[in-house]
Structure 1
Amino acid sequence: MKLSEIWLREWVNPQAPIDDIAERLIMGGLELEVEPVVSPLPQGVVVGQILSASPHPQADRLQVCEVDIGQAMPLTIVCGAANARAGIRVPCATVGATLPSGMAITQATLRGVESAGMLCSAKELGLSEHSDGLLELDANTPIGQPIVETLTLSDNILNLEITPNRGDCLSIQGLARDVAALFGVQVKRTPPPAVVVVGAQTLKVEVIDTHACPTYAGRVISRLNPKAHTPDWMRQRLLRSGLRCIHPLVDVTNYVMLELGQPLHAFDTDKIKGSIHVRPAHEGEKLTVLTGEQLTLRAQELVIADDTAAIALAGVMGGADSGVGVDTTSIFLESACFAPAAVAGTARRHKLSSDAAFRFERGVDPALQRTALDRATQLILDICGGEVHPVSQAGRHSPDPIQVRLRHARLKQLLGHDISARDVEHLLARLGITTRNEIGDAWLCKIPSYRYDLRLEVDLIEEVARLYGYDRIPARPYQAALAPSQPTETQRNLSHIRQTLIARGWQETVSLAFIDAAQHAVLDPQTPAIAVDNPIAETQSLMRTTLWPGLINAWQHNRQRQIDYQRLFEIAVCFTQNNGTITETARIAGLASGPATPEQWGVPARAVDFYDLKAEVCALFGAAAEQYRFEPAIHPALHPGRCARILRGKTFAGWIGELHPSATHALDLSSAPLLFELDWHTLRDIAIPTTSALSEFPSSRRDLALVVDAGISAQQILDCVHSNADPRLKKAIIFDVYLGERLENNKKSIALGLIFNDPSHTLKLEEIDAATTAVTAALHRDLAATLR
């Protein structure tokens, strides 16, 4: 939000330069920057009136203008602007003037005609990046007045980033209150002049839900001048606040919204059929808004309707069929308070952006509607003329007062500093908070209606702290003794996993916990996701059930920037729901793509594959690697031939595999990355390391060549060996696989190595043969394996 310094100082004017005011606001919790309207200021530019404009004798697109700047003789200036015409007042740069761009104005001859200056556009004055012609000024602007004074170009703009809890600062009035509280000065409260009601035309107003719309007020203003023009002073303030000028009636509503913080809307009275109804929309009801887009409404959305149909989306945007236009002569001016819950999410759901919704979502003062209505009415009368009719009002009319109990002892405990009771009462009074002493060194505080964010005791303590000054609260050591946790030997922490991956060349990513519903449907369709009630974007409408969406988004972002070699991982929580209970599960996930190794001369280039990623995952298992198993399985997001379920014993631990081709196509990816995801709880527990004496006797090895069905996995063979082996079998390894000639169809040859050892003696040939025979027999019995 942008606001003018001069406009702010009309409401509150502490004796301090703007940089000091900005610094105090920043220390008080408001983030902002100060920038000049124009830098440097134009020199030698004054207000001029074009007395005549005749075609240039030597150029079709130029005109020769006679310009009065308040001197004895008018200036002759050659101008190429299409809107240059007799009677208008415009900025005129005289000879010797300097524009903000650095251009110096000199006497010049253009196609044989002497030109003693230049008529200026908004762009040439540094007020706009684009302009279609000369900047036209009000007809009553004093001729010869420096343009710096006319347009108050010595002004500064306060560019504020208002946090969601401080909706009360989204106006000049609200910001002035905060400045006054921080500096201990008074706001110049000028009550709007009384509006004289001369007519009797009213529209009946009905509010169906007073919780969604506590207050609704409006009045008819008729006999308006459709040719009225928004005055320069209002146009400049709107432009400096980032709003474009549209129509005098719309400009007034925007001006009052910026000044007081109350969004307003003007309906063309002639386009309203019957009464005004504030009601929930009918499911599937249609509404065409001012942007020209037709909306399909939901039943829970609040609308403004007449007797026939919805004419506005309450708190968001008006309807095109009831909006004001160049021929409007009578309006119904609306000033309402809509509850944040009734507006929140509606604008984003329909992809609409409006300043009104921005404010209503954060809370608008429910006691402000009548004041804002009278202020806007008076401005409309001043600019467009007209006749004022009585106010139609519905709702609860007066908001329920909010009272919060504040304990002095609690304030001292949280701040770690003793602020006297008198100072606390004085600081709260600056904010318009009235206090009443209670027994037990406490206050009952009455909160102003415009402070939606003050509902708890800690909120008041924060207000006391920021007005007192965070820099005045001394730093003190913690009184509590903080003992670091002692991890047990049977558990490892996440930092160990993180450092392991980093040491192996992986990079950590951090992504939002919100994901796109389309991504979820592709990557984890079997897990019900939790919908976000008020998503910040349509593509972030679900809580993640897997970490893969964030990794794929980061990977795709990097791929678009020509980064092929990627090893990304994330450690975060996922969210699942079972019978209404939400569970958070910590997980570790990774994505690999590109070449198996960085480009080099010593190793042939090849793409990373399933087994490369499996090796990386096994590195995370550490000494417990033998407890994990990789079993072929089906996952809807992974390639069926390049996918495995990871188990620790019989406990599910995670997934590993290549992204399914259909998922690659659905997500519009250029290639299929490799992915893994592990449950942290299955990795956390580790066995306590134990030592054993080294055998003094040699080991013996037997190699077997087995012929098995092609569908038998290596893990099945190893499981069979370990289940039936002699205790003296210390290790079993598969070191070769053969497919080809001399083997039947659907058969493969597996080379199996068996290593035996006995710590008490050297094994005899008969013992080794017996142990080997037992293994061979078990393999034949369980897997139909034969010796080759």
Structure 2
Amino acid sequence: MRLPVSWLVQQLELNDDTKDLTPDQVAEAFTRIGIEVEQLTPLGPVTGPLVVGRVAEIEELTGFKKPIRFCTVEIGDPLITDPLDDHPDPVDPHAPATTQVICGATNFVEGDLVVVALPGAVLPGGFAITSRKTYGRISNGMICSLSELGLGDDHSGILVLPSGEAAPGDDAVELLGLTDTVIEVAPTPDMGYCFSVRGLARELACALDLRVIDPAAVEVPPAEGESVPVTIEDPDGCSRFALRRISGIDPTAPTPWFIRGRLALAGIRSISLAVDVTNYVMLETGQPMHAFDTTKVSGAFTVRRARPGEKLVTLDDVTRTLDPDDIVVCDETGPISLAGVMGGASTEISPESTDILLEAAIWDPASIARAVRRHKLPSEASKRFERSVDPALPPSALERAARLLREYGEGRVQPGRTDVGNPTMPEPVVMAMDLPDRVAGIRYARGVTVTRLQQIGCTVDVGADADGTPTVTAYPPSWRADLLQPADLVEEVLRLQGYDTIPTELPSAPPGRGLTPAQRRKRAVGRALAEHGYVEVLPFPFIDPAVFDAFGLPADDSRRRTLSVLNPLEADRHALATTLLPGLLDTLTRNVSRGARDVALFHIGQVVLPRHQSAPMPDVAVTARPGDDELRMLAAALPNQPVHVAAVLAGNRTRAGWWGAGEPASWADAIQSARTVAAAAGVELTVHKSDLLPWHPGRCAELRVGGFPVGHAGELHPKVVEALGLPARTCAMELDLDALPLVESRPVPLVSPYPPVLLDVALVVPTDVPVAEVADALRAGGGDLLEDLSLFDVYTGEQVGEGKRSLAYALRFRAPDRTLTVEEATAARDTAVATATERFGAVLRA
């Protein structure tokens, strides 16, 4: 939130010690009490003559590609003459001083008050103003916009001041407050009351031990009837709704500079008096408001949830399809406002509006947050509603806005006021008097706890409990809905006393047993994959269930059974992942779109697998550790959350270079990544042919440990690749890491000192026989003497016959206790071949 420091200081009752309060002191005070200050930005600097001028005459210059105006501007005393004119005309000493300026803006007319930088002035950014000849005329200065003066980003036109607020020749630096400083703060989400001058000034007063002037402390007269009848059908979504009507507003009335200037420094563009006043009161008090054109409203108001299929054209002229979770304000014609987010175009305030309805309401923070994300419509109002707004504010904020419109827009405040709803106020909190001392480990002075709680607005009663222990009963103010328990009160006392006053003591670390076996295995798996060229990523943890349509999963596939979060970060990604592949493939696509071609990624994380029949979630107190029964109930209510490991590959697995062509990643690399995981975990995988989407049916392997399936690997289905926009032949692997048995003690491998016997064998088998199963048969037949085997050639052709293929294996035989003879190795090989022949009809190829 951005605000001028002078606006904050204006709300404080300063004393002799703080009358010269500097922006740096303000920033230090905020930091001390836990409010982060992101930036301090001094305005200007502006040096030299910067004055208010009145446009006396405008001459439109023609013959140029853009509008060019030669303006005569009255700038008061002293008299200004053209320094480039060697023979100036005589001037009337009683006439106002004037200067001539070239200007390309067209948003001002003769008689308007503008800000003029005269020759010799230096504007923000070191922009020096001089007399110069341009477009065939001499320009003695510049008529300035807000951006040129450093008062905002609006450079669409010249700054036009309201008439009557200044006179030609007045010092514009003082008038515009160009010696001020803008402070930008970032309160934590639980400090929603700090998104206003009212809240920040109160915090500043606490830090400096000063009294605060509450801008919302206005006398609210009793209502004389209703402005417009209102029915709240959804009290959970709207706890309070108030309206005030102002008629007879002058639509041409300008916004006074003190409002317009403060809005500009806060980053809000000036629109019209009515809209500017609502934005100003929002910044001042923290209560967002909305203005309706009364003449465009039909009948009574109803506040409810949207109905399926309803649509609303919002102020940005976008037709939005409403969700049944959206809260809307309706009249007899239907929805006219998306509550807390944006108003509707049908009741928009126009330049001709003279009769308006001001609305101030209290909306459910979670509902507003969901609507903002669903419709992608963040706003200053929704930012405050998401963090909760003071439920006692609406009448005061309406009265403040109504008085501003009456004073500066000549409006007539109608006697009626609508105020319906039953907002919930904070409940009292009882705390032991010495609890802050015990938490901080320091003994505070007597009365500190009561004083600090009173400073934040609490009404405090001092008493004692049944044991005679002194207690404090705090009645939180309406704007502090976050004060719910004694710990919250302790935090306030410690925060305002200063965290720097709490002694720092480093506790001794108790001896521990280190990582658990599962944690060690997880780290070992991550290191192994990284050593093999994979890059670990942390994908977005939520998924869009529509990804399972792209995967081609059948409707009854268990991976479609997901759980949704109530308040997702992205409206279209609300489901907890049942598989790691969607997040990994999304990350792969993002990397490829940014120019990466050879990508190998992995992720180790939990998936969420809902139970078919889950127990209800128990309501567990936080004041003590849950009991064993409660822990069992919690475990039964939670879904299964096993740890998975997944990897995806695209492009070349081996890069091309001077050494030769690259080797594209294939299904075999995906299977090998699973073997890498298994080796790091100390288990052995067996590979079996499988058919499971999203993998290619002919290039998918089921991975097993001890006959139990633990995952799949292979090349993705071409339709999945096309649907997700993935590179061709993308491969993937996913294993259930928790399903692998934990191997805590691994025997030291025995290394035989005796030489091996190397033999090759080529077997002709049907093409539908999996290679892995042939290898298993050879291992089984080779016995203990077969130390290793590897496939080094696959051949198909006329020599082996149609429907068959030749698989050539290199076999390594070795005995652990003697030198193996060729005869023994040959006998073991023949037994291995016989086993393959028995199982698959393999024929030894000559």
The normalised TM-score by structure 1 is 0.91
Within 5 Å, which residues of 2 pair with 1:76-475? 76-81=99-104, 82-83=106-107, 85-109=109-133, 114-129=138-153, 131-140=155-164, 141-189=166-214, 194=219, 202-397=227-422, 399-407=424-432, 411-412=436-437, 414-419=439-444, 422-436=447-461, 437-439=463-465, 440-475=469-504
Range with bigger deviation, 144-153 or 309-318: 309-318
Amino acid at match of 2:522: L
- Give, in whole Å, the separation in 2 of the partners of 1:128 and 1:190: 25
Q: 1:712 maps to what in 2? A: 769
Pair 1:503-2:531 in alignment: yes
Q: 1:61 maps to what in 2? A: 68
Query: Deviation at 1:524?
Result: 8.3
- Give, in whole Å, the separation in 2 of the partners of 1:190 and 1:691: 77
- Give, in whole Å, the separation in 1 of the partners of 2:443 and 2:676: 55
Q: Give the aligned length.
A: 787
- 2:162·2:256 contact (CA, 8 Å) conserved in 1? yes
Query: Could you list the per-position Cα deviations for residues 100-142 of structure 1 after superposition, in whole angstroms to 9, with x for gaps in the alignment?
Result: 2434333445567554433333343233555344321111113
- Give, in whole Å, the separation in 2 of the partners of 1:684 and 1:416: 47
Pair 1:567-2:600 in alignment: yes
- Which of 18, 28, 31 pairs up with 2:33? 28
- 1:618·1:625 contact (CA, 8 Å) conserved in 2? no
- Give, in whole Å, the separation in 1 of the partners of 2:425 and 2:751: 82
- Structure 1: state its 5+ residue gaps: none
RMSD: 3.2
**Alpha-carbon distance change, 333 to 768 in structure 1, aligned in 2, over 3 angstroms:** closer
- Which of 545, 554, 575 pairs up with 1:542? 575
Q: 2:622 maps to what in 1? A: none
Q: 1:555 maps to what in 2? A: 588
- Which of 476, 497, 516 pairs up with 2:544? 516
> Partner of 2:506: helix, strand, or coil?
coil
**Alpha-carbon distance change, 151 to 520 in structure 1, aligned in 2, over 3 angstroms:** farther
- Give, in whole Å, the separation in 1 of the partners of 2:840 and 2:335: 73
- Give, in whole Å, the separation in 1 of the partners of 2:214 and 2:754: 98
Q: 1:2 maps to what in 2? A: 2
Range with bigger deviation, 438-447 or 768-777: 768-777
Q: 1:667 maps to what in 2? A: 724
> Partner of 1:582: helix, strand, or coil?
coil
> Partner of 1:688: helix, strand, or coil?
coil
Query: Deviation at 1:92?
Result: 1.6
**Alpha-carbon distance change, 521 to 18 in structure 1, aligned in 2, over 3 angstroms:** farther
- Give, in whole Å, the separation in 2 of the partners of 1:450 and 1:771: 85
Query: Deviation at 1:450?
Result: 0.8
**Alpha-carbon distance change, 756 to 594 in structure 1, aligned in 2, over 3 angstroms:** closer
- 1:717·1:779 contact (CA, 8 Å) conserved in 2? yes
**Alpha-carbon distance change, 397 to 596 in structure 1, aligned in 2, over 3 angstroms:** closer
- Give, in whole Å, the separation in 2 of the partners of 1:472 and 1:128: 39
**Alpha-carbon distance change, 54 to 758 in structure 1, aligned in 2, over 3 angstroms:** closer
- Give, in whole Å, the separation in 1 of the partners of 2:421 and 2:361: 12
Query: Deviation at 1:479?
Result: 5.9
- Which of 634, 659, 677 pairs up with 1:602? 659
> Partner of 2:658: helix, strand, or coil?
coil
- 1:226·1:326 contact (CA, 8 Å) conserved in 2? yes
Query: Deviation at 1:187?
Result: 0.7
Query: Could you list the per-position Cα deviations for residues 566-609 of structure 1 after superposition, in whole angstroms to 9, with x for gaps in the alignment?
Result: 33222222222123442222222223333333444234323233
**Alpha-carbon distance change, 390 to 681 in structure 1, aligned in 2, over 3 angstroms:** same
**Alpha-carbon distance change, 83 to 219 in structure 1, aligned in 2, over 3 angstroms:** closer
- Give, in whole Å, the separation in 2 of the partners of 1:192 and 1:9: 17
- 1:201·1:220 contact (CA, 8 Å) conserved in 2? no
- Which of 74, 80, 86 pairs up with 2:97? 74
- Give, in whole Å, the separation in 2 of the partners of 1:20 and 1:286: 50
Range with bigger deviation, 707-716 or 299-308: 299-308
Query: Deviation at 1:378?
Result: 0.3
Kindly, what percent of the aligned residue pairs are identical?
32
Query: Deviation at 1:494?
Result: 2.0
Query: Deviation at 1:276?
Result: 1.8
Query: Deviation at 1:91?
Result: 1.0
> Partner of 2:714: helix, strand, or coil?
strand
Query: Deviation at 1:363?
Result: 0.4
**Alpha-carbon distance change, 612 to 48 in structure 1, aligned in 2, over 3 angstroms:** same
Pair 1:576-2:609 in alignment: yes
Range with bigger deviation, 94-103 or 519-528: 519-528
Amino acid at match of 1:269: T
Query: Deviation at 1:698?
Result: 7.1
Amino acid at match of 2:99: T
Q: 1:629 maps to what in 2? A: 686
**Alpha-carbon distance change, 601 to 625 in structure 1, aligned in 2, over 3 angstroms:** farther
Within 5 Å, which residues of 2 pair with 1:483-502? 483-485=512-514, 487=516, 492-502=520-530
Q: 2:625 maps to what in 1? A: none
> Partner of 2:454: helix, strand, or coil?
helix
Amino acid at match of 1:80: C
Within 5 Å, which residues of 2 pair with 1:703-782? 703-723=760-780, 731=788, 733-752=790-809, 774-782=831-839
Range with bigger deviation, 265-274 or 120-129: 120-129
Pair 1:41-2:69 in alignment: no
**Alpha-carbon distance change, 742 to 111 in structure 1, aligned in 2, over 3 angstroms:** closer
Amino acid at match of 1:627: E
Amino acid at match of 1:597: T
- Give, in whole Å, the separation in 2 of the partners of 1:769 and 1:594: 42
- Give, in whole Å, the separation in 2 of the partners of 1:720 and 1:690: 25
> Partner of 1:719: helix, strand, or coil?
helix
Query: Deviation at 1:376?
Result: 0.7
- 2:306·2:326 contact (CA, 8 Å) conserved in 1? yes
Query: Deviation at 1:269?
Result: 1.6
Amino acid at match of 1:551: L
**Alpha-carbon distance change, 666 to 377 in structure 1, aligned in 2, over 3 angstroms:** same
- Give, in whole Å, the separation in 2 of the partners of 1:551 and 1:338: 38
**Alpha-carbon distance change, 190 to 273 in structure 1, aligned in 2, over 3 angstroms:** closer
- Structure 2: state its 5+ residue gaps: 79-92, 615-637
- Give, in whole Å, the separation in 2 of the partners of 1:512 and 1:692: 41
Pair 1:531-2:534 in alignment: no
- 1:514·1:540 contact (CA, 8 Å) conserved in 2? yes
**Alpha-carbon distance change, 569 to 27 in structure 1, aligned in 2, over 3 angstroms:** farther
- Give, in whole Å, the separation in 1 of the partners of 2:708 and 2:565: 31
Query: Could you list the per-position Cα deviations for residues 601-620 of structure 1 after superposition, in whole angstroms to 9, with x for gaps in the alignment?
Result: 23432323333343343233
**Alpha-carbon distance change, 478 to 37 in structure 1, aligned in 2, over 3 angstroms:** closer
Query: Deviation at 1:66?
Result: 4.4
**Alpha-carbon distance change, 361 to 749 in structure 1, aligned in 2, over 3 angstroms:** same
Query: Could you list the per-position Cα deviations for residues 318-356 of structure 1 after superposition, in whole angstroms to 9, with x for gaps in the alignment?
Result: 221122212222222212112223423112212323222
Query: Could you list the per-position Cα deviations for residues 142-173 of structure 1 after superposition, in whole angstroms to 9, with x for gaps in the alignment?
Result: 32121111111112222223332221111110
Amino acid at match of 1:168: Y
Range with bigger deviation, 630-639 or 118-127: 118-127
**Alpha-carbon distance change, 181 to 192 in structure 1, aligned in 2, over 3 angstroms:** closer
Amino acid at match of 1:635: L
**Alpha-carbon distance change, 176 to 75 in structure 1, aligned in 2, over 3 angstroms:** same
Within 5 Å, which residues of 2 pair with 1:606-625? 606-622=663-679
Range with bigger deviation, 220-229 or 104-113: 104-113
Q: 2:700 maps to what in 1? A: 643
